[in-house]
Structure 1
Amino acid sequence: MKNFKIKILVLPLIFSLSGCSLWKDFTTYFNTYYNAKTIFDRTEEEILKKRTDLFAFRLDAITPQQKNDLTKVIEKCSKILQFNKESSFFDDALFLTGKAFYYQQEYARAQRKFLELANFPESEFALENKFWLAKTHLQLRNFEEGLKLLEEVQSEALNKDEENIFIEASIFKIGFYLFRQEYQTAVNECNNFLNNIKNNDETTALVLYQMGKIYNLLGDKENALKSFASVIEHSPTFEIEFESRLEYSRLLKDMGRIEESENTLNELLYRGKFKNQEDRILLELGQIYDEKNELDKAINIFMTIDSTYKQKPTAAFADLMLAKIYENKIRDYDSSFKYYNKTASSNLSREIKNQASSRYRIIDKYFTYKKILSDLYLQLTYLNDNNRFIRDSIDFDIAYNQYLEETRKKQEQSSQQSDLSISQRLQQRGIETPQQAQQKKSTDSSLYIDKKLTLVELIAQGKAKKPTRPKISVDSLRTTISQNLYNIGNLFLTELEVIDSAKFYFNEIINNYSDKPYKVDALFALGTYYETNNQKEQADSLYRIIYENYPNHKLFTEAGKKLGLIKSEDKKLVVNDPAEKLYIESEEKYYNKKYNEAINGFKNIYLNYPRSPFAPKSILFIGMIYEELNQNDSAAFFYSILSSKEYASTPYGKAVIAKYTEYKNEKERMEKEAKEKEEAEKKKAEELKLKQVNAEIPNDERPVNKNKVSGDEKPADEKIKTDSIKGNNYQQLKIKSENTDTSKIDTTKKQKIRLE
């Protein structure tokens, strides 16, 4: 536009000297260049406005519309380059074309245009063009040539007092070194910039902020702290000022200066100018309270973020922090499970969501083991205490009847809701009105405390079932219990990483289930626990028990190695079970609710590796999945495999034998009832057939009761005749009935049998 204004000012003089040439420039500008420049400026402004990091070396992808607009710019400029070479807008069009190709990330084509323009050293775009040419060299990995040109641009810009070009070239160069992870060189470039630019406080503040981040990457916290503190001595933008103050407070916390960090954050929180960033400040404060073990404060802050800023990323981070606090510090796995689930379904990065999903699955596994163990303990109690079974059955029946009554009342109330106000309807359904919700929020200071559910509530949620008498022996139950105690202990040791809880479960096996197969596994795991805690003497004593008493156990060799009594080369190493990897993958699919894939994986194990220890366990999982899917016949089929001779002696076979026996007995009972019902229906059909036959015989042809005295009684000879006719008619009707009605009866009977 500057060029254009000069042309307009000298318009009368030029018209008098060379009207034809000026007219060609004038029409070219308005017909082509002006439109191209307008489109380009608008598109470039959109692209630059969306940049989140000014030091980013790689460009963000542009939108299809922006790409289309840049193509229009290239097409319009190409007309000037082809047909108006004598136009004074030729170099303008060439430069615009190169920049348009660059934004489209067509770096080779952009470079050709910039090289072509470099042949016109007198062009007003010469220095800027050299800068863009240097950028294309670096994008095309011509690093040596690109950096050389950048240095020339910086030097020329300083000599010609072109501050803006020097700033752009310096920022791009810093971004390039960051991209290459040459952090110290990037710091040197920042210092070079600060030494040469004195009067641009906003850009100086920006470079100081970036230098603080680079020092942080280098682990130089002291210099990082100084850089962030220096930002506010200049004139930073609102955003850079806030980010610098926030980074400063984070660094203080990382350096152990917790109180200073807390004070800085509180100062930020109560500054009115940073109101829109309150959620980020609160998130940092919550983490400080977490670090100080002021858990009530931390939980309240994270819950405030979760409820107040639901649409912001900080809410998901707050959920993650809540999940970690509940898991690692409070041991409230129910709440932790809930918040890991929320984090996994948030819009955070894939890495964070995967981390949350992993913890979620581990805790879900814990709940599964815990539920199985609880059921097994209850079954053992019922075997030892029949009164307890009777008492629980009565309690369940009472609660179940109460549940049915409450359900009936709710249904009655639902039918009357048309006459109620909205707030009354919400109240009856157990939904809070906005006023109630606000009141509850302001008064409830212990939202994170889990409330125990009543038996009626558990029934309503499908979490309580009617007590059943155990069909399995005490010995089999104890074996299965010891297995599940080991599973939970191992989970605490390896995945939940709660060593003391692992020790509790392993000791439970050793002390109370020492006659069961999992005693040796528990001894070895407990030895690992002591070894982890640098208690070698206790660990070795447990390894020695295994080594001296269980020479045929799979852990005998490992115990000997731990004691130094067996070297690796003394015994041929056992090849890993090929089914193990398949089992782990299938189990993962099960916990991810991918039931069909899990079933196929488990089937593959027991079909291809029937003698593997993972085969019976895989069959058990298949049965459990089919049970969850309410496909009881399929579940029973696989439980029957476990109950067969091959697997009946395994812990898994013993675990299902009672369930499978009960299923078989119930199946036989149902089949017997169905057969009895079929016979009853058959008998009923035959009686119905006889009634139909009698209904079709006229009254005067029916047999007369000899003992009945009536005035209408026929003479003896007529009676004989009637009897004869009746007999013939009866035979005919019987034949007719057999040919017609019987088929209808049989069809009805078949339909009933199918329904049954």
Structure 2
Amino acid sequence: MLRKGNSKLYFLAAALILIAGGCSVWQNFTAYFNTYYNAKTLFEQVEEEREKLNHPLFEFKEPKLPGSAQTPVVKVIEKCSKILQFDQESSYVDDALLMIGKSFYFQSEFAKALRKFNELAAVEDTDLLLINQYWIGITELHLRNFDEGYNKLEEVKKMALEEGEDELVDRVYIKQIAFLNFRENYADAVDLSKELLEVTDNEELQAETYFQLGKFYVELDQVENAAEAFAALDSYSPSFEIEFLSKFEAAKLQKQLGNVDESLQLLQDMREEGKFNQHFDKLDLEIAQIYLDKEELDAALELYTIIDTTYKNEPSSGEAKFKRAEIWEKYFRDYDSANFYYEKAISSTASTERKNEARAKSSTFNNYFKLKQEQDKLYKQIIYRTDPESFYRDSLAYADYISRDTSTAISDSLLFDRDNLPEGEDEEEKANFAAIQDTAKIEDKLVKPVKMDITADSLNTLIAKNLFNLGNVFFGELQVVDSAYHYYNLIDSQYPNISFKPKFLFTYANYYSSIGEEEKADSLFNYVYVNFSADAVAAEAAKRLGKTEITETTNPLELSYLEAEKIYFASNFDTAIDSFYNIYSEHPDSYLAPKALYTVGYILENDLQLLDSAAAVYDSLAQKYSNTDYARASSKKLNFYRSYHRNIQDSLDLIQKQIADSIKADSLANVIPEIIESDSLENQNGNLPDSLINSLLPGDSSAVIEENDLKTPSDKKEKVYKDIIKPDKDLPDSLKKKLR
């Protein structure tokens, strides 16, 4: 077999033979050579396009090929495949195999790439053996054959060192370090980075390695070592980007070391140099953060505003919007303004992570605003009860307002003060921000009065529940504990007889624990543990106290319920249903009655899939225990079920009407009843066929039903049983999915 060393003689001899052989043979040879040349040119174009991506040197994940390289890489594979078909003996075969393998690698088709590299490895005496082994090693890593890939690279590194292949040695080290970085094995990555610094003579690579070494030290929380590594690269030849990043990271590290003023000075010096003007937005963000850390709020807000408006197309603009929202939320506690900027951040140039945070914040605030509106509405009911005339006064005032033209004249007292807008806002931003404030103030004034027809006890329950939800927003989501305490204390002092007392007291105990008042927290946990042993939170309270979880009770009804649960968990569904139903029917006024009835419905729905029967049980639950968590938990399912049957009936009525309207003669009239009686609309059991139900169901009604929050009978698999009324035929799968 001829190899590369003999290629020139081979092709010279081949050329003579081809000339002697005739014109057609020469044309074939020319086409072969042109195919190789074109493939090589296209492949070099692909590599150049990859270089333009400026992919971080020590990042393991391969970048996606740019669009400009997508077509060329496919053509490389096609042309190189033709070369392999033309002549398996020429030196071009080696290059063709390597180019195909690398092309597949660039496309992240690692399995295909490995097959081609292995084909090349089987070629005898190839000059590409060592570089091919390198590609096999890194491909194995991407196929998650970590040991094989890493060991292969070790072999290549050893051979390359022996043969003086310095560039290949560098490449192996880079890939190994990138892999360790990917695996978050920072300690070994540090050691390997130090080895690379000792063996390489490439000053630009040394500079970038020092930078990466500093980042590894940061991950290991070795701040001083990190600072030294960032400073060391100045002695080499860093690229412009690495020089900026190292100085930038060094400045941030000074703040981490507690040298805030020194950090600020370094950042300001970098900005004043003018050398890094394309990174001014990053410098300004870090400077603004220092102002914020020092609680120089005006300076921070002003600089974030400048960043937001100056670098609109940069990620820093989105980050600035998010930080402005945080300032309004955490420092000024102006939640309307905070929500305005969080919503702006959602559609901004911010990172995906920041957008998700902003989206969660906005959802929290919208929930908070709804709870506040509901609280105002509920408090109004107290006024209407103590002063019945106030409802009529409010109604008259509202009627008078809406009868006037308010589109052009709004009281100045309801308008936001435009003079208080931050400097640097563009006019559109100012208008949007002020409009939000106007709307918030106007809506506070203009609420249509509503008088609720409920008992005083029900009203107090609703108020307490709403206060509890408000407290939870502040405690769990906004983490403003003083506001959380305000609402929890109101419940504790004014609403002692709430139905959700165990859950409230457990949360209240968690509040005290969060502020370090463990004695009060333990007292409340113990109260829950002793007085509400049948409630699920008692077990959690026991854990917090370090006590044995409650597993037994002496209450006969509770023992009956526990026994029913055991039957259920043994999958004896019929018997379990009877047991739970007996608890409900024999003790309808017990606190366990709604829970037992809900469990019956749950088993029918989820274990026996008797959805008609489950709906009947949920309907009874809604009628008899409407104010319980169990009725609320099943309400959406029940509403959907009712809506579904209404839609079916409406559709049947429409079909019947269309049939009636279309009857033109007595002969047709005689046929219609036979059609209806024999097939599509109803069978003998009164159930609709799947085909009609599927055609009547909405295209996407899954959003109507949400997964149950309520957990019963325990935190295991909440299942619950068959029905007292079994329908003659089960519902189709399409409806089961909607009800579940």
Whether the TM-score (by the shorter chain) exceeds 0.5 is: yes
Q: For residues 195-344 of structure 1, what are the structure 2 equivalents within 5 Å?
A: 195-198=198-201, 200-344=202-346
Aligned to 2:575: none
Equivalent residues in 2 for 1:488-637, closer than 5 Å: 488-514=470-496, 525-539=507-521, 568-569=550-551, 571=553, 606-607=618-619, 609-610=621-622, 611=625, 613-617=628-632
TM-score, reference length from structure 1: 0.62
Q: Structure 1 residue 485 and structure 2 residue 467: aligned?
A: yes
C-alpha distance after superposition, 1:424-458 (max 9, x if no partner): xxxxxx9x9xxx9999759x999989996499x72
**3-state secondary structure, aligned to 2:275:** helix
Question: Residue 688 of structure 1 corresponds to which residue in structure 2?
Answer: none
Quote how far apart the aligned CAs of 1:526 are: 4.0
Secondary structure of 1:270's counterpart equals helix
Q: Which residue number corresponds to residue 655 of structure 1?
A: none
Check if 1:95 corresponds to 2:98: yes
Q: Deviations over 1:239-270 (max 9, x none)?
A: 11222222222323333332222222222233
Q: Is the 8 A contact 1:206 1:236 kept in 2?
A: yes
Q: Percent identity, please.
A: 36
- Relative contact order (alpha carbons < 8 A, sep ≥ 6): 1 or 2 greater? 2
Residue 225 of structure 2 aligns with an amino acid whose one-letter code is N
What secondary structure, in the 3-state scheme, does the structure 2 residue paired with 1:59 have? coil
2:50 pairs with 1:47? yes
**Which residue of 2 is the match for residue 712 of structure 1?**
none
Query: What CA deviation, in whole Å up to 9, does each residue of 1:259-290 have, x standing for no partner?
Result: 22222222223332222222222222222222
1:425-444 residue pairs with structure 2 within 5 A?
none
Cα drift, residue 37 of structure 1: 0.7
Equivalent in the alignment of 1:131 = 134
The 1:16–1:31 alpha-carbon spacing in structure 2 relative to 1, beyond 3 Å, is closer
Q: Note if contact 1:506-1:523 (Cα within 8 Å) is conserved in structure 2.
A: no
Q: Distance in 2 between matches of 1:538 and 1:44?
A: 67
Contact 1:316 1:348 in 2 (8 A): yes
Equivalents in 2 of 1:196, 1:552: separation in Å? 70
In the other structure, the counterpart of 2:194 is 191
The change in CA–CA distance for 1:270 and 1:508 in structure 2 (over 3 A counts) is same
Alignment match, 1:658: none
Within 5 Å, which residues of 2 pair with 1:417-432? none
Distance in 2 between residues matched to 1:563 and 1:142, nearest whole Å: 47
User: 1:195, CA displacement in angstroms?
Assistant: 0.6
Instruction: Give, in angstroms, the shift of residue 193 of structure 1.
Output: 1.4
Quote how far apart the aligned CAs of 1:370 are.
Answer: 0.9
Letter in 1 for 2:36: Y
Q: TM-score, normalised by structure 2?
A: 0.63
Answer yes or no: is the 8 Å Cα contact 2:319–2:354 preserved in 1.
no
Q: What's 1:406 paired with?
A: 408
Q: CA deviation at 1:360?
A: 2.6
| Contact 2:7–2:90 (8 Å) recurs in 1 | no
Task: Give, in whole Å, the separation in 1 of the partners of 2:539 and 2:141.
Answer: 59
Distance 1:352 1:437 in 2: 23
Question: Is the CA contact 1:51–1:60 (under 8 Å) kept in the aligned structure 2?
Answer: no
How far apart in 2 are the matches of 1:136 and 1:537?
A: 59
Report how far residue 41 of structure 1 moved. Answer: 1.0
* 1:634 aligned residue: none
User: In the alignment, residue 300 of structure 1 is paired with which amino acid?
Assistant: E
User: Partners of 1:579 and 1:48 in 2: how far apart?
Assistant: 67
Using a 3 Å threshold, how does the CA distance of structure 1 residues 361 and 445 change in structure 2: closer, same or farther? closer
Cα shift at 1:373: 1.1
What residue in structure 2 maps to residue 164 of structure 1?
167
Q: Which entry has the higher C-alpha Rg, 1 or 2?
A: 1
Are residues 1:27 and 2:30 paired? yes
1:677 matched residue in structure 2: none
Task: After superposition, give the CA deviation of every residue in 1:375-395 in whole Å (9 maximum; x if it has no partner).
Answer: 222332344346755665565
Is 1:253–1:261's contact at 8 Å kept on the other side of the alignment? yes
- Give, in angstroms, the shift of residue 548 of structure 1: 9.8
User: Which stretches in structure 1 are left out of the alignment for 5+ residues?
Assistant: 409-429, 584-599, 626-756
Contact 1:482 1:509 in 2 (8 A): yes
CA distance in 1, matches of 2:272, 2:593: 62
Structure 2: state its 5+ residue gaps.
411-415, 566-591, 599-611, 641-740
Aligned twin of 2:183: 180
Q: 1:376 aligns with which of 363, 366, 378?
A: 378
Asked whether 1:76 is paired with 2:76, we answer no
Give per-residue Cα distances to partners, 1:52-98, cap 9 Å, x unaligned.
Answer: 22223343344687455334323333443343455454433343333
Once the two structures are TM-superposed, the CA of residue 368 in structure 1 deviates from its matched residue by: 1.4
Structure-2 change in CA distance of 1:578 and 1:159 (3 Å): farther
Secondary structure of 2:248's partner?
Answer: helix
Count residues in correspondence.
575
Residue in structure 2 matched with residue 358 of structure 1 by the alignment: 360
Distance 1:111 1:179 in 2: 21
Q: Deviations over 1:552-584 (max 9, x none)?
A: 99989988998999962453798899999xx9x
Structure 2: distance between partners of 1:65 and 1:26: 31
8 A Cα contact 1:77 1:93, kept in partner: yes
Find the aligned partners of 2:275 and 2:450 in 1 and give their Cα distance.
66
Counterparts of 1:125 and 1:552, CA distance in 2: 75
Residue pair 1:509, 1:518 contacting (<8 A) in 2 also = no
Letter in 2 for 1:373: Q
Which SS does the other structure have where 2:153 is aligned?
A: helix
> Cα–Cα, structure 1 residues 563 and 449, in superposed 2: closer, same or farther, change >3 Å?
farther
State the alpha-carbon separation in 2 of the partners of residues 523 and 134 from structure 1. 60
Following the alignment from structure 1 to structure 2, what is the Cα–Cα distance between the partners of residues 130 and 561? 57
One-letter code of the match for 2:94? D
Q: Please tell me the root mean square deviation across aligned C-alpha atoms, in Å.
A: 5.2
- Counterpart of 1:464, as a letter, is L
Counterpart residue number, 2:60: 57
Report how far residue 337 of structure 1 moved.
2.4
Displacement of 1:335 after TM fit? 2.3
- The alpha-carbon distance between structure 1 residues 351 and 579, as it changes in their structure 2 partners (threshold 3 A), is farther
Bigger shift: residues 180-189 or 608-617 = 608-617
Q: 1:383 to 1:152 in 2, by over 3 A?
A: closer
Shift of 1:38: 0.9
Partner deviation per Cα, 1:442-484 (whole Å, 9 max, x = no partner): 9x999989996499x72xx797234456766666544533332
Where does residue 577 of structure 2 map in the other structure? Answer: none
State the AA in 2 paired with 1:506.
Y
- Counterpart of 2:235 in 1: which secondary structure? coil
C-alpha offsets along residues 613-635 of structure 1, whole Å, 9 cap, x if unaligned? 2245469999999xxxxxxxxxx
CA contact (8 A) 1:326 1:333 kept: yes
Contact persistence 1:29–1:89 (CA under 8 A): no
Using the TM superposition, give the Cα deviation of residue 8 of structure 1 relative to its aligned residue in structure 2, in angstroms: 11
